[in-house]
Structure 1
Amino acid sequence: MSGDGVRIRHIADADWDAITAMESRAYTELGLTEGRAVLRARADASPETCFVLDVGSEPAGYVLALPYPPFRYPDLERAEEPAVVAPDPPRNLHLHDIVVAERQRGRGLGQRLLTHLTRTAGARGFERISLVAVGRSEPFWSKRGFTAYPGISPGGYGANAVYMSRPHAPDMQDSGVQDQQDPGVQDQQDRGVQDPGVQDPGLYDRGVHVRDRHVQGGGRAYEAS
Structure 2
Amino acid sequence: MRSSDLDAVLRIQREAYGDAYQESADVLGRKLSFAPEACWLAERGGEALGYVFAHPWQAGVPQLHALIDHPPGQADHGFLHDLAVSPRARGMGVGQALFGKVRVWSEQAGHRALTLVALADAVAYWRGLGFVPQALGLPDGYGAGAVFMRRSLAVRD
Q: Normalising by the residue count of structure 1, what TM-score does the alignment of the two structures yield?
A: 0.63
Query: What are the equivalent positions in structure 2 for 1:8-27 lying under 5 Å apart?
Result: 11-27=1-17
Q: Which runs of 5+ in 1 are unaligned?
A: 1-10, 171-225
Task: Give 1:42's aligned residue.
Answer: 31
- Give how far 1:166 is off: 1.2
Query: What are the equivalent positions in structure 2 for 1:97-116 lying under 5 Å apart?
Result: 97-116=82-101
Q: Which AA in structure 2 matches 1:66? A: H
Out of 130, 134, 143, which is 1:149 matched to? Answer: 134
The structure with higher relative contact order (CA 8 Å, sep 6+) is 1
State the SS of the aligned residue for 2:121: coil
State the SS of the aligned residue for 2:105: helix
Contact 1:154 1:161 in 2 (8 A): no
- Give how far 1:152 is off: 2.5
Out of 5, 18, 37, which is 1:28 matched to? Answer: 18
Structure having the larger proportion of residues in strand = 2
- Give how far 1:65 is off: 0.3
Aligned-residue identity in percent = 31
Contact 2:132 2:149 in 1 (8 A): yes
Q: How many residues align?
A: 155
Out of 51, 56, 64, which is 1:76 matched to? Answer: 64
Structure having the larger proportion of residues in helix = 2
Distance 2:151 2:97 in 1: 18
Q: Which AA in structure 1 matches 2:18? A: T
- Give how far 1:120 is off: 1.4
Distance 2:127 2:47 in 1: 32
Distance 1:78 1:107 in 2: 32
Query: What are the equivalent positions in structure 2 for 1:107-146 lying under 5 Å apart?
Result: 107-146=92-131
- Give how far 1:169 is off: 4.5
Out of 22, 41, 62, which is 1:52 matched to? Answer: 41
Q: Which runs of 5+ in 2 are unaligned?
A: none
Q: Which AA in structure 1 matches 2:47? A: E
State the SS of the aligned residue for 1:62: strand
Distance 1:116 1:142 in 2: 18
**1:85-125, Cα deviation, whole Å (9 max, x unpaired):** x2xx1111000101112211111111111111111111121
State the SS of the aligned residue for 2:43: strand
State the SS of the aligned residue for 2:107: helix
State the SS of the aligned residue for 2:91: coil
Distance 2:127 2:51 in 1: 22
Distance 2:68 2:10 in 1: 16
Q: Which AA in structure 2 matches 1:91? A: D
